Structure 1
């Protein structure tokens, strides 16, 4: 998947993270996914020796299919880390944005990765501590000195019109910055890659793909604008499994493993405030 297609899909998922969208959707939609009573999930995992983890396979660099037709990405590595902590074999379950909440409620998965935390979702599932950063950021060539909002003065910045990227950078950009708005993320990315705009605002996942695939323009992340980190999503009332997952995340943070995953897949250090 190229950065443009990835950006379009990411916009759809980012909208699902926002409180505004959740408020508009109402409680009834997610309430339909509230799980029925079941046996303790940790006991079930221990007895079967298998933990089923829902992941996206069309969401690089968090999850995608490699040349060998095997899943790879930040979330795949994270799933294996959790499986090791649970002393269980990992069974990756491919999910989509539309079906994954139902898969969790129906016990087709034991947990989900890459879940953004919102008040609406918190009514029907529980969230682990954050394990991966997701944020909007300003990207540009290393040769361009930009470290913060003030440095946008006199610069041109490409965004998709009306998106969170547009709103976020428009709030902080100095009056002399030129915000170039395009009809969709693909247009903004194309403008940046072709030199029509000096800077680009996208999610860190899309930015990581651009960094990896376009070394000729030597792009880098300049600074972040809006943060909505990724969590592990569990069914409610699974405190023992939640503790195991949080312990695995804490151990990976302390050992430097989470930072290594961020560097490997996102080409940026794990944020200190994650």
Structure 2
């Protein structure tokens, strides 16, 4: 007489044999693969983005209401609407944005320059817009070229881990470079006379000087060194999410959406296209 235990053993052995012979479906015989970013967004109906407070016109958080604004917020809202999902905003910093992507805390972060170091660990979208590197220099400094800033007597500030940190380190290795946790701290060092200039991308320098002209004067060192502002993604084998965003960006660039949200948010902080330095475009 065959016991229930023997029957269960026989069934298990048969299933194992069938799996080994490739006769059991992959869903039965294999462990499900890790969920991709795109699949998680579709399943949860939530798009998680990183955002940096005090980084207008990219990102801006109203201290009183907690509401977020900025052109990358507007762009993210449009992307979430296209996906028919809820937008979830997670506060971060420029320095931590890549770590948050790697840790799967966010699905996308807009506003990253695609540096070789970052490209080792994350993926990038197609460019959203062009962004030149500038200096907010103390008035009367009189330096106009990268070679002139690359001087042991010149003190340059940057926010640690940012693209401007990498650019200043590369183009001005002879200068005295001080690294600060935040953009505002780097700016204060220039305003208080502890440094000569702050290296920062044009979109942020224009905004900061519009708010506080006493910070210094805008210099676009020559030759003009520009980079692109892109979205970053957690690296994964499945590229569906990255490819979808690239298609969305290219489509909406053609429709004029990207330019319109940038101009609208620049104007919100008092900047017009006329304020942009000659020879520098979006």
Q: 1:202 to 1:189 in 2, by over 3 A?
A: farther
**Where does residue 246 of structure 2 map in the other structure?**
246
1:134 is displaced (CA, Å) by: 3.2
1:48 to 44, 47, 54: 44
Structure 2's unaligned 5+ residue stretches are 1-32, 138-143, 149-153, 159-164, 180-185
Q: Which structure has the bigger radius of gyration? A: 2
More off after superposition, 242-251 vs 56-65? 56-65
1:188 shift after superposition: 3.8
CA RMSD of aligned residues (A): 4.6
Runs of 4+ in 1 over 4 A off after TM superposition: 161-170, 181-185, 199-202, 214-217, 219-224, 271-274
Offset of residue 230 of structure 1:
2.1
1:165 Cα deviation (Å)?
5.7
- Post-superposition offset of 1:138: 6.1
Unaligned segments of structure 1, at least 5 residues: 1-36, 141-147, 153-157, 171-180, 192-196
1:203 to 193, 201, 223: 201
Task: Name 2:86's counterpart in structure 1.
Answer: 89
Distance across 1 between alignment mates of 2:123 and 2:114: 9
Secondary structure, counterpart of 2:35 in structure 1: coil
- Within 5 Å, which residues of 2 pair with 1:223-262? 225-235=224-234, 236-262=236-262
- Distance between the aligned counterparts of 1:159 and 1:69, measured in 2? 36
SS in 2 for 1:110: coil
8 Å Cα contact 1:81-1:248 kept in structure 2: no
- What is the CA deviation profile of residues 156-199 of structure 1, one whole-angstrom value per residue up to 9, with x for unaligned ones? xx9737975698699xxxxxxxxxx99795354567xxxxx9x9
Q: Is the 8 A contact 1:86 1:244 kept in 2?
A: no
State how 1:75-114 maps to structure 2 within 5 Å. 75-114=72-111
1:115 corresponds, among 96, 112, 115, to 112
TM (norm. structure 2) is 0.58
**Per-residue deviation at 1:40?**
2.3
SS at match of 1:107: coil
2:156 aligned with 1:160:
yes
Distance 2:172 2:108 in 1: 34
Retained in 2: the 8 A contact 1:138–1:221? yes
Structure 1 residues 239 and 125: alpha-carbon distance in aligned structure 2, compared to 1, 3 A threshold = same
SS at match of 1:134: strand
User: How much does 1:80 deviate?
Assistant: 1.1
Shift of 1:216: 10
Contact kept, 8 Å, 1:56 with 1:96, in 2: the verdict is: yes
Partner of residue 72, structure 1: 69
Is the CA contact (8 Å cut-off) linking 2:169 and 2:177 kept in structure 1?
Answer: no
Give the distance between the partners of 1:64 and 1:48, measured in 2 at CA: 26
